[in-house]
């Protein structure tokens, strides 16, 4: 068993174990990948204030997200095709999250279905919704999430059309992988993944296949989104979806103060400041850079979470100190899952927890609610270098 001390260790094992097309799928941003890179590198621009001789006994990272108790304010983000990173990947990730005491979000574009995950877990999970042109199908998805006891609906607002990720096109990304000479050559070097995948419950999009008819290619994320996703989704439709759900709602993919105000006005329970991990609008600012302006606009009106770029407990602390109530992690847990299955997701959560706890202590704080801008050294031009329109 290798000694895993940080998230990058898991990423290295993940890269060796998982077929290239799925590694590339997770590891890509759109177009030039500028936003993808800056999501992480902008965290490095913020520094921490070291404080000493503070009583650090009895620390805790426990907190709440949308009124739910969490062992630390970190939720697993919805990630498409998670069940291609490891056999039964969504079930494994959901179980690891449940044991750790943090929320798991199941993507519409998952391999395991809503029902698979509900059957394999005890606690309610969150369900992420993509809105389809076919309103009946959307309504059925919402009903299935209700029947499964999901405790929040996460409506993603930044993917009505898919941002282009070059590698997915070049690799012919599909679930299950199509057996071209290039994929076969690569799969032959990933035999453990292949053997485990033979025993998987599913190898296709579990929320879709068998639930909709007349799709030209249900194995291709690109084809499916282009054909089925609703490009006319607007705030009026968001309000209708919220009404259909009737429970807690998190609006994900907000990167602008004006949009944050709209989300607050609609009465959502939380927003997720996110640029979809740099996978959609290339050239958008990083989530952490946008967070202060969004907090200033809606911080008193709605709970704010941050997603995109989190790879360490220090990144989590910086987000919380800028007043986010929690964060979402995508790639950070996928690395663990691809590397070691459920144990790898648990390891990723342990690593992040230890980093958050130790960093908090060395900043002189005992609890996440005590964190604030006083813990940070922020470059003067961090949020304000851009001209107002």
Annotated binding site: 25, 78-80, 107, 128, 130, 156, 165, 252, 274, 276, 279, 307-311, 330-331
Please say which residue, 84 or 288, places its beta carbon nearer to ligand GLV: 84
Adjacent-strand bridge partners of 68? 65
Please say which residue, 11 or 318, places its beta carbon nearer to ligand GLV: 11
- Residues that constitute the known binding site for FMN: 78-80, 107, 128, 130, 156, 252, 274, 307-311, 330-331
Considering the rule CB under 6 A, would residue 252 count as an interface residue with ligand GLV?
A: no
Considering the rule CB under 6 A, would residue 26 count as an interface residue with ligand GLV?
A: no
Please say which residue, 108 or 183, places its beta carbon nearer to ligand GLV: 108
Give the CB-nearest residue to ligand GLV. 80
**What is the separation of C-alpha 14 from the centre of its chain, rounded to a whole number of angstroms?**
18
Residue 279 CB, nearest approach to ligand GLV (Å) = 4
The correct pick among 276, 311, 318, 353 for binding ligand GLV (CB under 6 A) is 276
Question: Edge-to-edge, what's the strand order for the sheet holding 126-129?
Answer: 74-76, 326-329, 303-307, 270-273, 249-254, 152-156, 126-129, 105-106
Residue 267 sits at φ, ψ, to 5 deg, of 85, 25
Two tokens, residue 370: 């005590």
Residue 68 CB, nearest approach to ligand GLV (Å) = 23
Please say which residue, 80 or 313, places its beta carbon nearer to ligand GLV: 80
Residue 276 annotated as catalytic = yes
Rounded to whole angstroms, the Cα distance separating 217 from 234 reads 27
Options 86, 276, 305, 353, the catalytic residue = 276
Residue 277 CB, nearest approach to ligand GLV (Å) = 7
How open is the CA angle 27-232-223, to the nearest 5 degrees?
45
Reduced to 3 states (helix: H, G, I; strand: E, B; else coil), residue 379 is coil
The correct pick among 279, 311, 318, 353 for binding ligand GLV (CB under 6 A) is 279
Considering the rule CB under 6 A, would residue 159 count as an interface residue with ligand GLV?
A: yes
CB 193 within 8 A of CB 19: yes
Rounded to whole angstroms, the Cα distance separating 156 from 271 reads 10
Q: Is the peptide bond before 212 cis (omega within 30 degrees of 0)?
A: no
Residue 326 CB, nearest approach to ligand GLV (Å) = 20
**What is the separation of C-alpha 69 from the centre of its chain, rounded to a whole number of angstroms?**
19
Please give the size of the binding site for ligand GLV, defined by CB under 6 A: 5
Scanning the structure block, which residue is given the tokens 């967070």? 291
Which residues belong to the active site? 276
Question: Applying CB under 6 A, which residues contact ligand GLV?
Answer: 80, 109, 159, 276, 279
């Amino acid at each position: 068993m290798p000694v895993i001390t940080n998230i990058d260790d898991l990423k290295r094992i993940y890269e060796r174990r998982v077929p290239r097309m799925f590694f590339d799928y997770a590891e890509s941003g759109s177009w030039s990948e500028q936003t993808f890179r800056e999501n992480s590198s902008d965290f490095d621009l913020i520094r921490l204030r070291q404080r000493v001789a503070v009583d650090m006994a009895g620390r805790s990272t426990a907190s709440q997200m949308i009124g739910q108790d969490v062992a630390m304010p970190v939720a697993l983000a919805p990630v498409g095709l998670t069940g291609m990173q490891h056999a039964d990947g969504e079930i494994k990730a959901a179980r690891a999250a449940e044991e750790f005491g943090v929320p798991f979000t199941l993507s519409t574009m998952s391999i395991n279905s809503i029902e698979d995950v509900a059957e394999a877990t005890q606690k309610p999970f969150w369900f992420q919704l993509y809105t389809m042109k076919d309103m009946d199908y959307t309504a059925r998805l919402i009903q299935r999430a209700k029947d499964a006891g999901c405790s929040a609906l996460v409506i993603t607002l930044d993917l009505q059309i898919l941002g282009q990720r070059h590698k997915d096109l070049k690799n012919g990304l599909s679930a299950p992988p199509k057996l071209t000479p290039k994929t076969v050559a690569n799969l032959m070097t990933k035999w453990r993944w292949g053997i485990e995948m033979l025993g998987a419950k599913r190898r296709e999009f579990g929320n879709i296949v068998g639930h909709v008819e007349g799709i030209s290619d249900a194995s291709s994320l690109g084809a499916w989104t282009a054909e089925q996703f609703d490009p006319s989704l607007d705030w009026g439709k968001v309000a209708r979806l919220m009404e259909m759900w009737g429970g807690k709602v998190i609006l994900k993919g907000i990167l602008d103060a004006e949009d944050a105000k709209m989300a607050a006005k609609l009465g959502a329970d939380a927003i997720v400041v996110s640029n979809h991990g740099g996978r959609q609008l290339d050239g958008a600012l990083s989530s952490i850079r946008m967070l202060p302006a969004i907090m200033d606009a809606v911080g008193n009106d709605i709970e704010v979470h941050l997603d995109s770029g989190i790879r360490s407990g220090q990144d989590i602390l910086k987000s919380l100190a800028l007043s986010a109530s929690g964060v979402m992690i995508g790639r950070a847990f996928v690395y663990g899952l691809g590397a070691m299955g459920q144990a790898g997701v648990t390891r990723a959560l342990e690593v992040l927890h230890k980093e958050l706890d130790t960093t908090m202590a060395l900043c002189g704080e005992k609890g996440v609610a005590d964190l604030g801008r006083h813990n940070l050294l922020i470059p003067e031009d961090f949020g304000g270098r851009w001209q107002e329109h």
